[in-house]
Chain A
Amino acid sequence: MSKPKAIIIGAGFTGVATAHDLALRGFDITVVDRGPIANGTSGRTHGLLHSGGRYAVNDKESAIECIEENTILRKIVPGVIEPNGGLFVAINESDMAYGEDFIEGCEACHIPIEELTPQQALRLEPNLNPNILAAFLVPDGTFDPLRLAMAFAATAKSNGAKFKLYTEVTGLILNGQGNVTGIKVWDRTNDERYEIYGDIVVNATGAWVGEITAMAGVDVPIRPTPGVMVAFDQRLTHHAINRLNKPGDGDIVLPQRQMVVVGTTSFEVQDLDYVPVIEDHVKLMLERGAELLPAIKNTNMRGAYMATRPLLGSGGSGRSISRTFKCFDHKETHGIDGLVTITGGKATTLRAMAEKTADVVCEKLNISAACTTKEVPLISYREFYRLPNNY
C-alpha cells in the first residue's frame, strides 16, 4: 500500500517538526523551502526555551503549552539546549507589584518556580543588577535555533522525508474542483522549474503563510510582527534573565555560547523579505539589557538582527495577541481542499504545533495514526547533512 504523500512548504520549526511527526505516522514527505533550513524567523529566534513564566499572567493558554513542551524538548533533544534555568528579576516597584500575579499565574499553569532573595540571586548570577528587589527561578533554557530545526529535520530524513532546499514555491496547482493537488517550484540551485504532487499540502511558512495562501486566492489572519535582537560579546550569565513584569521590550537576556543576546521589540511590517535593523531599537536593547545586566554597557556588540514573529491577528497590538498557534483547514475556511495552514506559535511549541497539524492532516485523509513525537528522541542534527540527498 503506498504511503500518503504530504508536501510541506517551509523548513522552519513548524515545517521540520511536522515532517518529523508525519514521517513517523507513515507519510511520504517532501519539504520545500526557498532557502536553507531555518532561514526565516526560526533561525533568528531569540532561542528561549520558555518555561512559560512570561505568559503565566496574560496568556495562560500559551504558558501551559510552553511548560509542557519545555519538558518534552529537554527529553527528546537535549543535545541543542543549554538547560541552566532562568530568573525573573524585579528591578523596581512596578516589577514588584507584578510579582503576586506572577506567582499565582505560574501556579495555575503548573510552572515550577522558586522565590529567591536578592542575595541568593546575585550569588547565582553575580553580573545581575546589584539593586534587584526580588527574583524567581524558573525552568527556562537556551537552545541553538538552527540545530533544533536540524535535529527534527534529520530525524524526519532518517524516516524517509525528502528535503528540497533552495526551492521556491511559485504557485499552487489546483484541480478542476478548485482543490490543491500540488505545487509549482523553482529550484534556485540549478534554475530548474518543475511540479510536485501530493495528497496534502501543508503551508508551514510562518510569517509568510499569507503569501502562499494568496496563490489559492485565500487569506489568513497573519500579522507579521518583527523585533530586534542584539548579541553582545561576553557570556555574562548562565541563566536566562527575564524582567518580572508584563511582556515588554528588551526584557529578556539569554546566554548563548560565549555571548548574551538581548531581545526584543515589536512592530508591524508589510515587506517580510527584508526587515532592516532599526538603530533606535538596538539602542533600546542596550539600555534595557543593562538594567538587568549592567556589564552589557561595557561589552562589545557582536550582532544585531530582526526576526519576524508570525502572530495570529484578531485585534489587539502585537504584544497582546495570543502567542498560541492555529491550524487552518482551508476546506473549512474557504472550501479549498488539499491545503492546510499552520502558523502562529513560538519556537518552544514547535512539536505541539506539528502534532496538531499532523492530526488535522490525518483526519482529512482518513488515516488513523497516533502521534508519537512526545516520546521519540531525535537523532543527531548532524545526520541531516550525513544522510544522502541533501545540501
Chain B
Amino acid sequence: MSTTKTKWNVNFKVYRKKGQNPSHYDQFTLEVDPDEYVLDAIERIWAFHDRSLTFRHACHHSTCGACGMLVNGVEKLSCITYIRDVVEDGGTLVIDPMRNFPVVSDLVVDMSLFFDRLEMVGQRQVVPVSDETIGDGKKAQSPTNGKEYLRLSDCIECGLCISACPIAATNPDYLGPAILAGAQQNGLDRKPELLQIVDQENGLWRCHSVYECTAVCPSNVDPAWRIMDLRRQVTAQRLKRLFR
C-alpha cells in the first residue's frame, strides 16, 4: 500500500450482457488507489455506479477461484491483480468475462461443464502436502503422531487456463488444461479409469504446447507441465502393456 495515498483516474470499459440483448461495453471512470486490486474497483462500480452489474467473487484472496476475468485481454484473478500492474494513471481497463465459457450475464460465465469434468477426473481439493507441493519429496507430517499434513490443493478451479488456451477456444470437446492437470494430480494409480479418460484425441493429445495455461495460472499449478508429465506416464503405461 502506498504511503502517500496517490489516486489515479482510470477508465473501466466493462462487458455487459443481459438476457438475449446484444452485448456492449459500459464506461465508468473511477478514482482508484494504484495499490488496490481490480476486483475492488469492480465492486465499487457495482456498489456506487451500477447495481445491475453481475460478477462472481467470494474470498478476495485467491483461494476460491471465483473472480477470474479478462483484464485488457489477459486472464487475471482480479482479487490479487494490482491496478498498478495493469494500467497507468489516466489509462483504460477493459474488463471481459473469461473466454471459452458461455456467458450467463455480464462477467458471470457458465462453468457447469468445467466442474463436471473436474469431478470426472477427480481432482482432489484436499491432498497430502507432499503430494501437492512439488518439493523435496519428503512427507510433511506431524513429528508427534506421524499424521500426514493435508492442505487445499493449488488448483482453485478458476478456469483462467481454459480461457487462455487456443485449443479450448476452437474445440469445446477438448478437456482442457485444468482438467488434465487435475487428472495428473489425482493420479493414474489412484484412479485407473483416468487412462481412458485422458488418453484420447480430445484429452492429452489435443494439447499443442502453447503453454499459455501455465503462463496465466494464478495458483502455481503449472498445468502444461502436468499435461506433459501425464503424457509421459500414459505412454509408459501403454508401452508396458504392449510388451507384456
Contact = CB atoms under 8 A, between A and B. Distances in A.
B242 interface: no
Nearest to B119: A382
B105 A166 contact: yes
B152 interface: yes
Contacts of B125: 79-80, 144, 147
Contacts of B18: 189-191
A277 B43 CA distance: 12
Contacts of A304: 1
A166 B64 CA distance: 18
Contacts of B115: 382, 384-386
A223 B65 CA distance: 30
B64 A146 contact: yes
Interface of B: 1, 5, 18-19, 36-37, 40, 43-44, 47-48, 51-54, 56-66, 79-80, 104-105, 108, 110-112, 114-116, 118-119, 125-126, 129, 133, 140, 142-144, 149-154, 156, 219-220
A84 B58 contact: no
Interface in A98-124: 120, 123-124
Given A39-B58, A258-B133, A386-B116, A238 B80 contact: no
A385 B220 contact: no
A174 to B, nearest CB: 24
Given A382-B118, A386-B116, A273 B153 contact: no
B190 to A, nearest CB: 15
Interface of A is mostly: mixed
A44 interface: yes
Interface residues of A, number: 62
A391 B113 CA distance: 11
B143 A391 contact: no
A50 to B, nearest CB: 18
A82 interface: yes
Interface in A256-289: 256-259, 261, 273-274, 276-277, 279, 282-283
A259 B126 contact: no
A204 interface: no
A270 to B, nearest CB: 13
B144 A120 contact: yes
Given A44-B58, A258-B154, A386-B119, 4 more contacts: A147-B125, A257-B154, A302-B61, A302-B62
A189 B58 contact: no
B19 A191 contact: yes
A54 B157 CA distance: 32
22 contacts: A36-B57, A37-B58, A43-B57, A43-B60, A79-B125, A142-B152, A146-B59, A166-B108, A189-B108, A238-B140, A255-B151, A256-B63, A257-B62, A257-B63, A274-B44, A277-B36, A305-B60, A380-B119, A385-B111, A386-B112, A391-B104, A391-B105
Given A84-B149, A382-B118, A44 B59 contact: yes
Residue of A257, A258, A274 with highest tally of chain B CB at under 10 A: A257
The 10 A-B pairs at the shortest CB distance, nearest first, are namely: A43-B58, A189-B105, A305-B60, A190-B19, A146-B64, A303-B61, A274-B47, A385-B115, A231-B61, A146-B58
A172 interface: no
Contacts of B133: 235, 258
Contacts of B59: 43-44, 144-146
A190 B17 CA distance: 8
A380 B44 CA distance: 33
